[in-house]
Amino acid sequence: MQFVTQSQPSMLPPIPRPPHDPTSWLLNGYVGFLPATLDQIQYLPSTKSLVLPFAPESRRSLTEAGGSFGGLTTPGNVAIGPDGSIYLLDTDNAQLRRFDSCDCSFRDVPCFGGAGAGPRQLASPHGIGICSGNLFVCDTGNHRLSVFALHGFAFRAHWQPPNAVYQGPNPVLANIWEPFDLAFDRYGKVYVTDSANGAVHIFSAAGQWQKVLTGLGPVTWITTDCRDSIFVVVTGPPDTVRLLNPDGTSVVIESGPEQLAPQFPRVRFLIDAEGLLHLGELCVESTSKTSGGASALPGDKPGCTGTSSGTSFPSIKCPPQLPQERGLFDLQGNPINRCSAPNTVSYLTSGTYISIALDSELYRCQWHRVILRGEIPAGTRIVAFTYTAEAVITDEQIRNIADDEWDTNQTGGEMKAGEWDCLVRSGGGRFLWLRLEFQGNGKATPRVDSIEIEFPRISLRRYLPAVFGEEPTSADFTDRFLSLFDTTLRSIETEVDYQAKFYDPLSTPSRRDPKTGIDFLSWLGSWIGVTLDRNWSEAKRRRFLKEAGRLFDLRGTLEGLRRELLLLLEIDPDCCKDNKPRDRCVPLPSNCAPIKPARSYWEPPPLILEHFKLRRWLFLGAGRIGDQAVLWGKRIANRSQLNDGAQLGRSQLRTIQDAFRDPFHYYAHKFTVFVPACYRATEANRKSLENLLRNSRPAATVAQIEYVEPCFRIGFQSMIGFDSVIGRYPGGVTLNETPLGRASVLTKPPHKQGGPSLEIGNQSRIGATTKLD
């Protein structure tokens, strides 16, 4: 007797095994640094890294004179045109000026401005702006917002609040408005500050006054960011910047320009803290005329020709390391001659970061090491301290812990390959607090992009006899000694653990080696004999190589070639999941049947036509005359016959004696591929298609390519009224008059088409077939 036992899955939990790699806490700008204390430490706006802040004397302010908001935007009296032109309003002379990059100077706009109360004159102007092809000027002294066309500077209108805001027992505005500065949002609305009433007026893009936000105080400059948030400067003391809410309330902004920089578009030129415009990079050398003719200088722009060099910059003596700066102007458009100012940016010399309690969820956990990633420039350093405990203590208690109670105390002076690490010297404890001391020389700051804290400590000591860890002191020494080898060995093991990513087409590197010119993705395809076209996009190459293994069994077949064409044309058969027409208003209850996975009911086009399907020859005694029978003769066989008039260049000399099967061979071993006509537009796509057909078709077949394009396109292949008319559906046929064919349609009798069922003279005759009662 033979007993057969069937293995059943075990219901017991898996046997616990010791981990080979520690887990870790990751702290960075994306998941958060989880700070409990940030003392003189700030986040770098671009990467959210931890750095030392600027010293007070080097820190930009949002309330700088000129309305540039610390260099985040152009000054209030400067505007950028849609073509990149720079316009400046000389508030002292009430004159509009335009920057000429060829002469590197500001030139006055003719017939514009001047002091006065005329339509085109200004009185104590301040802010300007450009939007929708119009130039807006805050004519403060004349109590109006002047609007000019940017093309030709034709006067358009004067915008003002309605008279109703000054009337009534409780007028909205107590004083005549004095527009100071303006800003725009993405919808073209205009926001104008009113310094006389401490308000902000809102106009529509067409110039209609909509509402006013009051109670802000003496507002001056205004700007908007990429999110249409409105910032205004309120003069003090002290001067503050407020963020306006849609309901009219405002919030004081405590952060500096560095924190708000990601919210604003980048300005083309530099505006320093003194309000000076650095336009040297926008200046273009003009073409100088010599005896040999005009010669273009490097960097010259079209149209920059002439003999003058523009505004004369008197040469001054400057040190070689600080040459004379060109293209420096004040807010009135006057050139400033001085030597290049050295970079005097300074940082604070110390700062402290303390994390919150990091929980390992392990009793008496021995934390392993701290890994810092970032940069430590010369003259700076970072000192790492740790503290562990079995219970959570408050942040205030952590800040009051004496320095001698903190452990580890390791100093990082440089980061090799952007990384520095140290062992945690604190004892076992479930919770850990990390303290980093940033120290610098004032000229640079250390930067921490991320912090990784590994736990628990899994040392190579577990492979040694127990005597090496018999007492805590010996165990600590052994762990620290073996960590020198553990880090190197663990890095190699990590490469082996993640080596599978190189064998997956979706994750393998595609960057080309500069020495060999071969990328790993193409090299991976060569393992299985697949050649990837370098003209393909990276996504197409990855997808083609991913599906190559499934297509090997179909190579040389109709279905295999069709799937390769779908990959080449980027047609996804599963693009439309669950697109079956629904016959129920609500889905079936979940207890009726198991839920079926969604699938696509859309079928991609066949793309390939085998010519043997077109074979419709008529054979004597084996066919019927009709659409499915085609007469054939010598044109199909086309063989030379003795004494039958063979012609040079037309008759074929064939050595294969198979004349009886010539009608079958005419369509045999041929197929046509139909692809969109857009694939013929570029040479790269056309060659990719030809290469794929050459490599994937069966060797004994002949492939033809047919580019499919619309057969009837109004405006391209035909013109309505010229060679095309829009006709109606044929109304029927008349016996003995209309020949049957494609232009004739048999219809129903008139009485069945919805028309009159009785027509005298056509369907009936009175007295013969019809009687009137």
Residue 515: its pLDDT value, please?
82
Rounded Cα distance between 483 and 457, Å, is 10
Tell me: the pLDDT tens digits for 157-170? 999 999 999 988 88
SS3 128: strand
Which residue blocks in 327-439 are alpha helix, DSSP H? 395-399
SS3 455: strand
Between the alpha carbon of residue 539 and those of residues 498, 519, 576, 682, the distances in Å are 22, 14, 20, 19
Rounded Cα distance between 280 and 266, Å, is 17
Round the average pLDDT of the chain to a whole number and report it: 83
Is pLDDT of 718 > 90?
Answer: no
Q: Do residues 371 and 417 make contact, with C-beta atoms less than 8 angstroms apart?
A: no
Nearest CA to 435 among 350, 355, 375, 357? Answer: 355
β-pair type (179-184, 190-194): antiparallel
Is pLDDT of 696 > 80?
Answer: yes
Measure CA of the first residue to CA of the last residue in the chain; give whole Å: 104
Residue 615: its pLDDT value, please?
78
* CA angle in degrees (0–180, nearest 5) for 321-322-323: 110
Long-range contacts of 615-624 (CB under 8 A, 24+ apart): 615/663, 615/664, 615/666, 615/667, 617/663
Which residue blocks in 498-630 are alpha helix, DSSP H? 520-527, 538-551, 558-568
Rounded Cα distance between 554 and 560, Å, is 5
Residue percentage of the chain with pLDDT more than 70: 80
- The pTM of this model reads 0.59
Give the CA radius of gyration of the chain.
Answer: 42
The residues that bridge with 374 in the sheet, in sequence order, are 448
DSSP 245: P
Rounded Cα distance between 554 and 634, Å, is 38
Nearest CA to 561 among 452, 370, 696? Answer: 696
Q: Do residues 286 and 107 make contact, with C-beta atoms less than 8 angstroms apart?
A: no
Tell me: the pLDDT tens digits for 725-749? 666 666 667 777 777 766 676 766 6
Beta carbons within 8 Å of 610's beta carbon, 6+ residues apart: 558, 670, 671
Rounded Cα distance between 331 and 93, Å, is 12
Token pair for 600: 């696509």
Tell me: the pLDDT tens digits for 418-437? 999 999 999 899 999 999 99
37 membership: H or E segment, kind and range? strand 35-39
291 exposed, middle or buried (CB, 10 Å; 0-12, 13-18, 19+)?
exposed
Residue 1: its pLDDT value, please?
47
Nearest CA to 428 among 381, 372, 389? Answer: 389
Rounded Cα distance between 94 and 77, Å, is 11
Q: Do residues 382 and 453 make contact, with C-beta atoms less than 8 angstroms apart?
A: no
Rounded Cα distance between 123 and 158, Å, is 14
Nearest CA to 113 among 126, 128, 123? Answer: 123
Between the alpha carbon of residue 607 and those of residues 250, 579, 703, 708, the distances in Å are 63, 22, 12, 10
Mean pLDDT of 68-80: 93
Q: Which domains, ranges and CATH numbers included, belong to the chain?
A: 23-53+346-458 (2.60.120.260), 56-278 (2.120.10.30), 509-552 (no CATH)
Q: Do residues 61 and 455 make contact, with C-beta atoms less than 8 angstroms apart?
A: no
Rounded Cα distance between 607 and 610, Å, is 10
Rounded Cα distance between 123 and 599, Å, is 72
Residue 233: its pLDDT value, please?
94
Question: What pLDDT band is residue 626 in, cutting at 50, 70 and 90?
Answer: low
Tell me: the pLDDT tens digits for 531-546? 888 888 888 999 999 9
Rounded Cα distance between 282 and 274, Å, is 20
Long-range contacts of 155-160 (CB under 8 A, 24+ apart): 155/119, 155/120, 157/207, 158/119, 159/190, 159/203, 159/207, 159/209, 160/209
Which range of 582-591, 631-640, 694-703 scores highest in mean pLDDT? It is: 694-703
Rounded Cα distance between 219 and 192, Å, is 10
| Strand positions, DSSP E, 272-428 | 277-278, 288-290, 293-295, 328-329, 350-355, 358-359, 369-375, 381-389, 407-412, 419-423
Of 258-272, 439-453, 509-523, 747-761, minimum mean pLDDT range: 747-761
Rounded Cα distance between 315 and 335, Å, is 13
Question: What pLDDT band is residue 634 in, cutting at 50, 70 and 90?
Answer: low
Mean pLDDT of 190-203: 94
Between the alpha carbon of residue 250 and those of residues 73, 175, 218, 239, 256, the distances in Å are 21, 22, 14, 15, 17
